[in-house]
Chains A and B, each alone.
Chain A
Amino acid sequence: MVIGYAGLLSVTHAAFYGIGAYTTAIFLTKSNIGFFSSLILGIAIAVVISLLIGIILSKFKGDYYALGTFGFNAIIFAIFLNWQNMTRGSLGIPGISRPELFDIDFENNLNFLILAVILLILIYFSSRFVINSSFGRVLKAIREDETAIAVFGYNTLYFKLLIFIISAAMAAVAGSLYASYITFIDPSSFQLTESMFILTIIILGGLANLRGSILGALFLILLPEILRFVGFPSDIEAQMRQMVYGIVLIILMLYRPQGFIGEYKL
């Protein structure tokens, strides 16, 4: 929504993804509140931080916006790495528990998948609600010509801020799920490269198309699994993954700038 609809090239969402993950990790290991409470807390913290950051970012346009988000991701990464007594720095946080709800066994990966899909459906429909509203139309106008839409009485700062907060909250949900699923997190999962990965998903799937983002995620998550069959040694395989993402992005920019099913060209 931030990139495809509002046209704001954000490379900071790994930071909010990380905030969600760390909130869940810290609360599940240090206190006995449940996964779902930690999920809500993660969203709340992401909302507060995105509000503060968004106020500054929303004054920027175009390339400057991208650079601002770039810087912010680096800052949050440094905090994850250096706030030792909270995040244990590069040692990471192990032993994060799986969710507990009624008698459902979330240690079972299938049950966890169902939970993730339910949350995905919720996120998908809330996104659809946002983009189908008048608010969504104004976002597109901001993408096309921010000054022109401002002249018609819209204070674009608020629109850019709100969509940034909404998207940060959604990224935090993903982070909480990730932490609980993997049961171990460390700062390396929330670097700028992760934001680039998210960006690649969005552009590959299709800008300004919600189904495109899901398609892009499926494709790019499954792609390395296919590479696995090619039989590269495991240390090369990890590097190959980064290379493939890079190449995919370059080919897209050259031949299909709107992605698979996108409705907007960068």
Chain B
Amino acid sequence: MKIIETKNVVKRFNGVHAVDQLSIGIEKGLISGIIGPNGSGKTTLVNLLSGILQMDSGVIIIDGKKNKRLLPHHISSFGITRTFQNIRLFEQMTVLDNILVVITDRNVFKSLFEKYSTHRHTIAEEILKKVGLWEKRDQLAVNLSYGQRKLLEIGRTLATKAEVYLFDEPFAGLFPEMRKIVSNILLELQKKNKTVRWTPLSRQL
């Protein structure tokens, strides 16, 4: 079964056809990859699927529902989450807050009256231990090393309990040990019947 499908999706940047009449399907419960050289439009596709860029034409079908226009804050309700190729953490916030902030109430008024909760703290602890950053929880994200930042960003997606994970270059620039942690996370997600889509420059899972 296809969890995400694109039909004739087009995205142009001033005449550059970054994504041209693309129709693909992403199978549920599989780890699949999009491979291509630099500048071939992999990140553009992820940006389109996560609503950061708006497509010029075409349709994105998520779980059977057709969408002509996706906005960033819609995609988490479809159970989609993502990482960014250029790592976008909340720099001047602690490592722990970087995780907590994605698991609190989405409603603006409810979040105003929501205080510290041990339940959410436990989730954050579990995830930070998995990516090996629990000891660094009180540090600002800006002070982490490149690899740690990448792991924190992946951890942030795990916290959301999404169904579909779009990873943009999850292995780029990582040491072999860190690569192993990331591979294990991806394989573990697959065991839980989650869908993972990643955009590598080469295959190495």
A positions within 8 Å CB-CB of B: 130, 132-135, 137-138, 140-141, 143-145, 147-156, 158-159, 162, 263-265
Contact = CB atoms under 8 A, between A and B. Distances in A.
A153 B101 contact: no
A140 B113 contact: no
9 contacts: A134-B101, A135-B114, A140-B93, A145-B90, A147-B52, A153-B73, A153-B76, A154-B73, A154-B106
Contacts, number: 94
A154 B100 CA distance: 13
B105 interface: yes
Interface residues of B, number: 35
Contact of A151 (B75, B108, B112, B113): B75
Nearest to B75: A151
B88 A147 contact: yes
* Chain A interface helix/strand/loop/mixed: helix
A149 B156 CA distance: 11
Given A135-B111, A137-B100, A137-B101, A153 B90 contact: no
Interface of B: 50-52, 71-73, 75-77, 81-82, 84, 88-93, 97, 100-102, 104-106, 108-109, 111-116, 156, 160
Given A133-B111, A133-B114, A138 B82 contact: no
Contacts of B100: 134, 137
Contacts of A148: 84, 88-90
A144 B50 contact: no
Contacts of B90: 140-141, 144-145, 148-149
Nearest to A133: B112
Contact of B101 (A130, A132, A149, A150): A149
Given A147-B88, A152-B160, 13 more contacts: A132-B116, A133-B111, A134-B114, A135-B108, A144-B89, A144-B90, A144-B91, A148-B89, A150-B73, A152-B101, A152-B102, A153-B73, A155-B108
B131 to A, nearest CB: 17
Contact of B113 (A133, A141, A265): A133
A145 B84 CA distance: 12
Contact of B108 (A159, A264, A265): A159
Given A151-B76, A153-B73, A153-B76, A138 B92 contact: no
B168 to A, nearest CB: 12
A137 B108 CA distance: 12
A143 B92 CA distance: 9
B112 to A, nearest CB: 4
Nearest to A160: B108
A138 B101 CA distance: 6
A162 B114 contact: no
Q: Which of A130, A147, A154, A162 has the most CB of B within 10 A?
A: A154
Given A130-B112, A135-B114, A151 B50 contact: yes
A264 B142 CA distance: 12
